[in-house]
Amino acid sequence: MYRKLGLYSFLMIFLIGCNSHKATPINISELTITQIHDAFKNGNYTSESLVKEYIKRIKEYDSGINSVSIINPNAITIAKKLDEEFLNTNTLRPLHGIPIIIKDNINTKNLPTTGGALALKDFIPQENAFVIDKLVDAGAIIIAKSNMAEWAFSAMHTESSTKGTTRNPYNLDYVPAGSSGGTAAAVASNFGTIGLGTDTGNSIRGPSSHNSLVGFRTTLGLISREGIIPLFLRNDVVGPMGRTVEDATRLLEVMTGVDPKDEITSYSEGKTFKNYTQFLDKNGLKGARIGVLRELSEDKVDLEIKTLFEKAIVDLDSLGSIIVDPFVVPNFAELRKNQWCSEFKKDVEAYLATYVKNDTIKTIEDIIRIGSTSEYARNNLLSASKKFTRWGDAKEKCFDAYKDPRRIAFREAIEKAMDSLKLDAIIYPTWNNKPARIDFFEKEYLGDNNQIIAPHTGQPAFTVPMGFTKGNLPAGIQFLGRMYAEPTLIKLVYSYEQGTLHRKEPKLKATK
């Protein structure tokens, strides 16, 4: 048998066998994709042993945080097959053997996709979402699905009828934000190597900021949303949430591409790169022109957040940036108005018809009839069943970011102002206030800057850690760029991350 396998495979089997008998467990704390792949190549451990260690950690620490909705019962089997593949080919796929946390509104074959709702608590998709197929093809292992704000309604907190409330691992009395709070808390707690969230207005960047993570809201059109339970499809994106810019970039790199089932991705044709990791430049801030959007950063800002943000500006300057302060968008206050449209009813009913195909769950009225344990979700469902128009006093019809006159005007004003000053990006705190306490989340929901620009203009906006306030509560800084300027943003946020190293893991207490 060993002759057929070859010398390399024989040595790998020997090393794996030896490793499996080691008493010392793998230290999965803050592991990156590169470190894991180096360990595979060196025979330090296998994907199987890595997955087992993550599952062990979830079981040991998550009951107090409540971030994971289900552990994939097939994760270990998948890992074994990937280990066998590596033994036979001596080749690692881009995400080979990497355990990933998936938000519970993204279709995963053979695993529940509930959106946190009772109406879908037994729904198991027949096929993966487009992006999940891409991740699986790249070798990723779905280790778990994560809790979320029910139907993705809440930017404030993460509460579902299927799993309950998720807590912030840095301080359990506080929210992890929403709606991708489960993914954020799980990745921050090292329950998976990296995670996937969705963002309608806040839901990647807010939870990432609250959990000392990197979160990428990419250009609207860069990544397919096919097979994802929508909130407002005209704004929805799916994107990476990770502990490092490099890991988030590796995930982004795999997911881009035109998908005929999501028409908006046709706009990305000819604007994407096969290799986004080439833009990971530690010196990426040297000579970069960065605008400070004071109209957001000074809006009822918490003093501790302001202090962190001002320090971030100093750091950007010391890392070689040219700071343009303030950066002003003419007529910004007026342009930002009347951008939201309520299209949940239309979008969710299209999802139910396409994927769920259940005669008893066809309409939003069916969802309301089945019910919810969350008062917040119930109120939003009732509101969404009645609203079909643009919010505010404008009467125009609602379109996507490439056709809606209001959205286009907002974007063009920002990019024109950036062009006039030759800016590479603009910055502001991801949130102007600290995370809210769970028991007072509606009253203390303050300072969310994520809802204002990117979801409407379609521009990419990346958040990275910028430090901690009292109570061990993380804060983030956001970099916003031009359409399809992911390469520029990757360069800038990687350089800032590497120059400041604000990320630190939470101190968890075992509950079992």
The token pair at 512 is: 């079992």
Q: For residue 422, what are the contacts with CB-CB under 8 A and spacing of at least 6?
A: 289
Query: For helices 303-318 and 486-500, what crossing angle results, to 10°?
Result: 100
Residue 203 a catalytic site member: yes
Q: Output phi, psi for 225, to 5 deg.
A: -110, 10
CA–CA separation, 75 vs 319, rounded Å?
A: 42
Secondary structure of residue 21 in the 3-state scheme: coil
CA–CA separation, 426 vs 416, rounded Å?
A: 13
Partners of 141 in the beta sheet?
99
Q: Among 47, 103, 145, 495, which one carries the catalytic annotation?
A: 103
Sign of CA dihedral 56, 60, 63, 64: negative
Are 456 and 401 spatial neighbours (Cβ–Cβ below 8 Å)? yes
CA–CA separation, 414 vs 393, rounded Å?
A: 23
Q: Among 49, 67, 179, 208, which one carries the catalytic annotation?
A: 179
Which own/partner pairs from 35-42 qualify as long-range (CB within 8 Å, at least 24 positions apart)?
A: 36/97, 36/98, 36/193, 37/92, 37/96, 37/97, 40/86, 40/92, 40/96, 40/97, 41/92
Q: N- to C-terminal Cα distance for the chain?
A: 43
Residue 103 a catalytic site member: yes
Q: Among 67, 189, 203, 268, which one carries the catalytic annotation?
A: 203
Residue 385 a catalytic site member: no
Active site residues: 103, 179, 203
